[in-house]
Amino acid sequence: MATLYFHIPFCKRICSYCDFYKVGAIELVPRVVEQMHKELEERQTFVAERRLSSIYFGGGTPSLLSAKDIESLINHASQLFDCSAVTEITLEANPDDITAEYAEALSRTSVNRVSLGIQSFDDRVLGFMNRRHTAEEAERAVRILRAVGFDNISIDLIFGVAGFGDDHLGESLRRAVALNVEHISAYHLTVEQRTRLGVMMRKGEYTPVDEERSEMEYLAVHKVLSDAGYDHYEVSNYAREGRYAQHNSAYWRGVEYLGIGAGAHSFSGDSRVWCTSTAKEYAEGKLLYEGEQLSVTDHMNEYVMTSLRTSRGIDLQYISTLFGEEHARRIERGAESWLATGMLQRTDNRLVIPAEHFLLSDAIIESLFV
């Protein structure tokens, strides 16, 4: 099965750390939604698989769309694809967009999972990030969604933020756990060059946390959420009662996906294509794309990268069958030093990074690349 992704590149305010494609011209939303219907129609055959397992609205700020627009895109997808196996339809949302009226309207659509970009429960940190909401508004958004019947809520948190003392992360984790949501994504703050935070760093106005602090905060997140009953199933993701993010899990398994919208990426199994149009060009129907054909080596490295970031790890028998026995043996040889230190563990034909060592996954993965 394939997955479907709608990219909504609009933001009322640009966060200081965000490097995703986004614009502030929200007056373009109606024309962009109209064009998304056209692109969906025209590009439906990019993925060979006609059955969908999940639909995801990401951004940007998808909660700037009306419930009517959201449902119209879902309905259009169901006319073009077999959606009988779709178990998860996610909408990313800013907490301050979740009013009682909007949540009620959203509950009448096919959306059954909401992912809230909370990032922190410290108003000082939220101000530093240039977020639109307060900690109180974030908690209120969860309560509003619960009140209208949403039983699958995810929240995003960011750790590794310098300059706010030792207690702000612990308080954010405490308040996150108290909300009893089904899923939490916790990301380490990355300073991207093309962001306001990147400019601040170049000017000497911001100094990122050091490696020791990064590891300490990562382990704190892991312990608090694990102790609260969350399964640490991917480097940055925690779920209760098996409520894993189905859409993202499909990405990590190498499933085909169709991306619709300005800045959206698509993957057909052997090629990757992305829309390079600006939101304005997209609204005008000027759809521009770039792409790349993936080699066997690309496939192999991508499998290693995505799989080792999860609690399932990599399957050496799968590698041997799909890519050749020599590749499997080469990875076994490359893994020996990591196995000796305990950074990697082997069970039968699987190599897994223990969750407490996920922070080092990039170094381990890179060492195993072809």
Q: What is the pLDDT of residues 222-255, one digit of tens each?
A: 999 999 999 999 999 999 988 999 999 999 999 9
Q: Which residue has the tokens 């909300």?
A: 179
Q: Are 313 and 351 in contact (CB under 8 A)?
A: yes
Q: What is the distance between the alpha carbons of residues 82 and 80, in angstroms, rounded to a whole number?
A: 7
- Give Cα 1 to chain centroid, integer Å: 19
The rounded distance, in Å, linking the Cα atoms of 350 and 164 is 41
Helix (H/G/I), strand (E/B), else coil: 261: coil
pLDDT band at 78 (very low <50, low <70, confident <90, very high): very high
333 alpha carbon, distance to own chain's centre: 32
Nearest alpha carbon to residue 125 among 134, 117, 137: 134
Q: Which three-class secondary structure state does DSSP give residue 269?
A: coil
The pLDDT assigned to 12 comes to 87
Residue 341 banded pLDDT, cuts 50, 70, 90? very high
Closest CA to 117 of 72, 195, 64: 64
What's the CA gap between 227 and 229, in Å, rounded? 5
SS3 of 237, please? strand
Q: How confident is the model at residue 98 (pLDDT cuts 50, 70, 90)?
A: very high
Contact between 64 and 12 under an 8 Å Cβ cutoff? The reply is: yes
pLDDT at 24 over 80: no
**pLDDT grade, residue 20 (50/70/90)?**
confident
**Quick check: 35 pLDDT over 90?**
yes
Chain segment 259-284, per-residue pLDDT in tens: 999 999 999 999 999 999 999 999 99
pLDDT range class, residue 166, cuts 50, 70, 90: confident
Q: What is the pLDDT of residues 302-336, one digit of tens each?
A: 999 999 999 999 999 999 998 999 999 999 999 99
Token digits of residue 73: 């895109």
Domains along the chain with CATH numbers = 2-251 (3.80.30.20), 296-370 (1.10.10.920)
**Cα torsion 325, 329, 334, 336: sign:** positive
Strand 52-59 versus strand 88-93 pairing type: parallel
Environment class of 321 (CB within 10 Å of its CB; exposed 0-12, middle 13-18, buried 19+) = exposed
Q: Is the pLDDT of residue 116 over 80?
A: yes
